[in-house]
Each structure stands twice: as structure tokens, then as C-alpha cells.
Structure 1
Amino acid sequence: MAGPRGEYRKSAERRAQILEAAAAVFARGGYTASSLAEVAREVGMTQTGVLHHFAGGKVALLRAVLEQRDAAAEGLLTGRTGRDFLAGLVEISRTQREQRGTVQLYAVLAAEATDPDHPAHAYFAERFTRIADAVAGAFAAVRAEGGLRPGVEPRRAANSLLAVTEGLQLLWLSGVDVDIADDVQRHLDGLLVEPLDVSGEPVAHPSRERTTG
């Protein structure tokens, strides 16, 4: 019994190492310009060894890397609705400070996947739709409680939040001095009647801030 369990654990650890290597390779050169051979070299294996764990080759690795990233983020939102769900989005943005490589990988692949022939095109299209639906649902729940500002429509609010988040990520990756979580929260607070309280560090409501001309 000890043998099989040990082999399973070793295989799981090897898969994790391969995924980490694939993420690093894809982040450096993008998916299209990368090769399975590069991933194998990164992790110190043969291509045959990589294929033993990911029989689908580079496409299977791409899918696994993307799903791994999303699973971690979606875990923070499980069971959350309304304002609590929106606060979770701010929390996810905050975790990205320590995940530059992952954020860079996502940005590179998302841009590549705008090509309809890219193997991740359908994945990203479905992902954006799924996220927009979930965020729109959270805004709708807030509106039902009278928590949205007049004129704020849930679907448009969801789309604007996604656009702001994606744009802030690109600015941050490009070296612009931005705080993604702080700015995402400020954007959200501009749509809500009452500002969010996230991790005990609420951002001042836009209407209460002094503006300069």
C-alpha cells in the first residue's frame, strides 16, 4: 500500500513541477513561440517524460496552467454573493502583488487568444462570459437591496469592472505605479451607495474625496 501511495504523491509533485515550468516558459515567450522541448528543459525532463504526465502535449499544458490559475481565484468567491462577492474581487486583485509571473502569463495568453485559431481562444471567450455573468449577478443582488447608485446597470457595471481590472493589470506589468486592488475598490465604490469594507481597509468613497481642478 505504501508503494502506490508514494508513487501517486511523486506523480502529483512532478505534474506540479511541470505546470510551474510551463507557466514560466509561456510567460517568457507566449504560447505560440514556446515549445514542449523548452518546458522539458525547464523542468529537467525529456519530452517523453512530460508527455507521460500530459498526454495532450503543449495544448494540455496550456489548459492545465489556465485552469490552475482560475481555480485559485474562484476558490475565494465560492458561496459569496452581492457585496461580499464584490469584496472578494478586490481580495483577488490584492493577491496578484505576489504573482507577477502568473499575471504576466495570463496577459500574454489572453492577447494571443484573440486569434480565433489559437487553442485557448474558446477557453478565454467562455471565461470572460462566465466572469461577466457572475459579476453582473453580484451587482444585480446589490441593486435588489438598493445598494447601487442611480443609473448603474448590472451588466454594464460588470463589463466596466472587467475592463478596469484588465487595464490596471497591463499598466502594472508595464511598470506604471498603480495599486490594482486599491484602484479596483475605488472603481467599485463609485458604483455603490456605500463603499466596500475589505479586510478592514476601506477606500474613501469618491464623493467624499476632495477634487482638484
Structure 2
Amino acid sequence: MSSSEVEYRRGEYRKSAARREQIVEAAFAVFSELGYTAGSVSEIARRVGMTQTGVLHHFKGGKTALLQAVLDRRDEQAQAILADKRGIELLRSLPRITESQLDKRGMIQAYRMLSTEAVNPDHPAHAHFRERQQMVARGIEQAFREAVEDGDAAADLDPRAAALSALAMTEGLEVMWLNGFDVDMVEGSRRHIQQFLTTEL
């Protein structure tokens, strides 16, 4: 293969990657605004100035593949907030993740609906959600363990129990908020985590 052919292929790859990124951004916006059920591939295509066939060329799994890409993006944003944090600093960041998503009700709803559907072991997203929850639980458990080591929590705290309680509270508040309850997810999460700590969040 000549150097010009190599450069051409690299250029095509970069254009394809950029187009895929545009599609994911549009899908994120559509699912955030309209939810997964109402959000359509045709609307996503319209926002990026493509045909529906063109979008599906990049996401051959269709709407499900687009949602998976959006879910991955959501996780990336959360991970960016938690990056390089440990102990109480990581725990302080958990309510901030919730706060960063308050204007994305449709996306939270889509995520919650899909995670409920994915409880079925035969669901295509089952492994994704199971592994994600286990990973999140381990990360929070480690943060509580570090908080104990750093003197920010009582020595007899059970880090695993505290992590599962914090995760259950956060997800429960999310469901109540989606169902119209007047709850403050950010403050509720912060107060719940605080009860396991001796240092102010």
C-alpha cells in the first residue's frame, strides 16, 4: 500500500470517527429531551443532516446500538467527575454527578427504563448493567474504606454495607423523582452519605 493510500485511509477513518461522534452527540440530545421511546433514529439523523440509512451505517445495531453509545457516554462523564479522587473526595463527588444530570430528565428516564428491562438475563444490555453496578459498588466501597483509613469515618464502619446503602438510596431517589415526587436528589444523596462519615462532606 502506498503512502498516499495510507493517508487516504487515515483521513477516511478520521472523518468516520468524527461523524460517529456527531451522531452520538445528537442521540444524547434526542434521548435527553424526548426519552428513549419517543426519540427516533430519524430525528437523530435530521439533527446531523444525514439520512436514517446513513446513521445506521455507523450504528448497525440501530436504535439499541445508539442508546448503548449514549449510555457509555453517560458513564464517561461520571467517570470524568470521579477521576483521580479517593476517599471522602470521591464520596463528595457522587452528589455532583446527580447534579450534573438534573437537566437530562429524558436521559435519566431512558437509562432507568433500560436498566429495569435489562434485569432479564436474556436482554442484550443485561451484562452491561450488571457489570456497571458491580463496578460502581466496588468503587464506592473502596472510597468508604479509604475514608475509614483517613479518619473521615468511624473505624467500625462496614464499607460494603455503606456503599450498597448509598447506591440504593441514589437510585431510589432517581425513581421517585421520575415519578413526580418532590425530592431533592442531590441533597438527599449527600445527607445519606454523610451519616456514614465523621467529616463533613
Same fold per superposition (TM over 0.5):
yes
With CA pairs under 8 Å and 6+ residues apart, which has the higher RCO, 1 or 2?
Answer: 2
Deviation at 1:188, TM superposition (A): 1.0
TM-aligned CA deviation for residue 20 of structure 1? 3.6
CA contact (8 A) 2:27 2:67 kept: no
Output the CA distance in 1 between the equivalents of 2:185 and 2:34.
25
**Partner residue in 1 for 2:85:** 80
CA drift of 1:15 comes to 4.3
Unaligned runs of 5+ in 2: 1-6
2:35, 2:102 → 1: CA distance?
19
Task: Quote the residue 1:203 is aligned against.
Answer: none
Quick one: distance in 1 between partners of 2:45 and 2:34? 10
In the superposition, the TM-score normalised over structure 2's length comes to 0.82
Give the CA RMSD over aligned residues.
Answer: 2.5
CA deviation string 1:84-106 (max 9, x = no partner):
00001011121122121121111
Asked if the contact 2:24–2:70 (Cα under 8 Å) also holds between the matched residues in 1, the reply is no
Partner deviation per Cα, 1:43-76 (whole Å, 9 max, x = no partner): 3354421221213333422321110111111100
Contact 2:148 2:155 in 1 (8 A): no
Among all aligned residue pairs of Structure 1 and Structure 2, give the percentage whose two residues are the same amino acid: 38
Greater per-residue helix proportion:
2
The 5 Å alignment of 1:1-213 reads: 7=15, 11=19, 12-21=21-30, 27-28=36-37, 38-44=40-46, 45-149=50-154, 151-196=156-201
Q: Which amino acid letter does the alignment assign opposite residue 156 of structure 1?
A: A
Q: TM-score, normalised by structure 1?
A: 0.78
Aligned residues: 187
In 1, Cα distance between the equivalents of 2:34 and 2:58?
17
1:105-161 deviations in Å (ceiling 9; x for gaps) = 111111111111111100000000000000000000011123223642001100000
